[in-house]
């Protein structure tokens, strides 16, 4: 199970804040007849965009979290609005009244709920459509052409690699497409090659891993370290991991899993051995007083998975202002609290693994959830 594949900086955004971020002014629904192209075909549709759909539909907030992950792989920002509409089959990048939209069908989204093995298909579709907008394909009217589809496929392969998908996972969606091409979409073999090119491009740019150094401020940094934007209450910051285990079988082990409120996901370190000296860094946008850490130890997806993987035993917590505290965690998957007296007005804290409770099958060390108070 142990593999090395650190993941890129990812941004975490809560559903409520995501919905607020996409609010538009209250205007009548926009409508336009145009050629709309999804992943595998084009059709002429009367697309109606209800401005309320960008703010009131909870599925919009869910998709924004996915879009945020996709954008952070390449460090770009959204140049489009996200809307929910049943006018498209699955998802499509389009322009209405000179505004860029990424439209998705909420009924199509529901197919993926509760199916973690379908994750890479969902991310693949959305990354492909995001690629159309970011590469300017939607600025030219008339629908898709094979070259632009291949560019969007390559971007999607790059993103999926950055999110931890192995090459087979990244190709899964495209393997389901028609073997023959068309005047608007390439043949399946060409598209699979484009996805593989993007995937390999990510592998070629990964920074070296394993090297750990301490800066003048005492903060540990690791080669291959990956960070995600995070919300600590209402305050924004970042959460960074010294390493992350590569995604497997539709599962990902990102540091962002620590803050998603889902006990079935976990951060799993990605270094060799038991993960001793692996660390997490919680960075705050402004100085913050932290009185305690709350966490669920181990991989709590199930009792069996919890037992098979390592759990954290001893940790060291340090801060930007020089505080240092050691603590021992209990070997269970319920919430537990670590008091942090004196951690006042800190810019960051780090949690370093000193020892573990050994798993019965794997040497991967996991933490499922994390909070700061």
Alpha-carbon span 178 to 188, nearest angstrom: 6
Q: Rounded to whole angstroms, how far apart are CA atoms 346 and 325? A: 14
310 pLDDT tier (thresholds 50, 70, 90): very high
With a cut of 80, say whether residue 134 has pLDDT above it.
yes
Q: Distance (Å, rounded) from C-alpha 48 to C-alpha 278?
A: 50
Q: Comparing C-alpha atoms, which of 279, 297, 290 is closest to residue 235?
A: 290
Q: What distances in angstroms separate CA 90 from CA 14, 139, 153, 176, 294, one per listed residue?
A: 23, 21, 16, 15, 39
Q: What average pLDDT does range 326-348 have in this prediction?
A: 96
- Pairing type for strands 324-328 and 279-288 reads unpaired
- Give Cα 318 distance to the centre of its chain: 27
pLDDT higher than threshold 90 for residue 113: no
- Mean of the pLDDT values across residues 105-119? 77
What number is the average pLDDT over the span 159-179?
89
* pLDDT value, residue 34: 61
Q: Is 36 within 8 Å of 88 (Cβ atoms)?
A: yes
Q: What is the mean pLDDT of residues 102-110?
A: 83
Which residue is it, tokens 């917590």?
317
With 90 as the cut, is the pLDDT of residue 289 above it?
yes
pLDDT for position 96: 78
Closest Cα partner for 132 from 84, 177, 188, 94? 94
Kindly list the domain boundaries of the chain, sorted by start residue.
10-205, 212-372
What proportion of the chain, given as a percentage, has pLDDT over 70?
79
* CA angle centred on 301, ends 297 and 302, rounded to 5°: 100
Average pLDDT, the chain: 81
Residue with tokens 């971020």, as numbered in its chain: 21
- The most confident of 63-72, 167-176, 202-211, 314-323, by mean pLDDT: 314-323
* Banded model confidence at residue 3, pLDDT cuts 50, 70, 90: very low
- Of 92 and 56, which is predicted with more confidence? 92
Predicted pLDDT at 230: 85
| pTM of the predicted protein model | 0.50
CATH number at 212-372: 2.60.120.260
Better-predicted residue by pLDDT, 44 or 169: 169
Residue pair 130/71 in contact by the 8 Å Cβ criterion: yes
Residue 80 has pLDDT above 50, yes or no: yes
Q: Between residues 341 and 4, which one has the greater pLDDT? A: 341
Selected residue with higher pLDDT from 154 and 92:
154
What confidence score (pLDDT) does residue 249 get? Answer: 74
CA–CA separation, 280 vs 360, rounded Å?
Answer: 24
Q: What is the mean pLDDT of residues 298-319?
A: 96
Mean pLDDT over 183-206 rounds to 87
Q: Which residue has the higher pLDDT, 301 or 108?
A: 301
Query: Considering only 191-200, 210-219, 260-269, 290-299, which range has the smallest mean pLDDT?
Result: 210-219
Output the six-digit token pair for 243: 């390493």
Q: Across residues 158-170, what is the average pLDDT?
A: 88
Give the pLDDT confidence score for residue 2 in this predicted structure.
43
How much is the pLDDT for 5?
37
Angle at 123 between CA 119 and CA 124, to 5 degrees: 110
3-state helix, strand, coil in the chain (%, to 5): 30, 30, 40
Residues of the chain above pLDDT 90, percent: 42
Residues 338-358 pLDDT 10s: 999 999 999 999 999 999 999
């Amino acid at each position: 199970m142990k593999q090395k594949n650190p993941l890129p900086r990812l941004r975490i955004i809560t559903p409520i804040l995501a919905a607020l971020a996409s609010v538009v002014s209250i205007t009548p629904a926009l409508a336009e007849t145009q050629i709309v192209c999804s992943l595998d075909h084009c059709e002429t549709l009367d697309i109606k965009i209800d401005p309320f759909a960008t703010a009131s539909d909870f599925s919009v907030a869910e998709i924004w979290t996915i879009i945020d992950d996709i954008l952070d792989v390449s460090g770009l920002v959204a140049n489009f609005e996200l809307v929910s509409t049943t006018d498209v089959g699955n998802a499509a990048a389009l322009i209405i009244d000179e505004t860029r939209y990424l439209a998705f069908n909420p009924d199509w989204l529901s197919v993926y709920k509760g199916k973690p093995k379908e994750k890479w298909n969902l991310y693949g579709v959305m990354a492909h459509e995001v690629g159309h907008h970011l590469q300017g394909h939607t600025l030219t009217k008339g629908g898709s052409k094979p070259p632009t589809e291949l560019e969007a496929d390559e971007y999607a392969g790059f993103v999926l690699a950055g999110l931890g998908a192995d090459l087979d996972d990244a190709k899964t969606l495209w393997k389901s497409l028609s073997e023959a091409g068309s005047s608007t979409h390439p043949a399946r073999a060409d598209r699979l090659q484009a996805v593989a090119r993007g995937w390999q491009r990510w592998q070629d740019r990964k920074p070296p891993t394993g090297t750990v150094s301490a800066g003048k401020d005492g903060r540990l940094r690791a080669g291959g370290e990956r960070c995600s934007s995070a919300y600590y209450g209402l305050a924004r910051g970042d959460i960074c991991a010294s390493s992350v285990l590569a995604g497997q079988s539709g599962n990902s082990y990102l540091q962002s899993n620590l803050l998603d409120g889902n006990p079935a996901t976990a951060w799993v370190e990605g270094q060799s051995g038991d993960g001793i000296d692996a660390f997490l860094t919680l960075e705050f946008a402004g100085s913050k007083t932290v009185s305690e850490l709350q966490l669920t130890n181990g991989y709590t997806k199930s009792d069996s998975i919890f037992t098979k993987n390592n759990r954290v035993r001893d940790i060291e917590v340090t801060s930007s202002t020089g505080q240092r505290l050691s603590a021992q965690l209990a070997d269970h998957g319920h919430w537990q609290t670590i008091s942090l007296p004196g951690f006042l007005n800190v810019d960051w804290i780090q949690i370093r693994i000193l020892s573990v409770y050994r798993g019965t099958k794997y040497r991967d060390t996991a933490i499922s959830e994390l909070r700061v108070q």
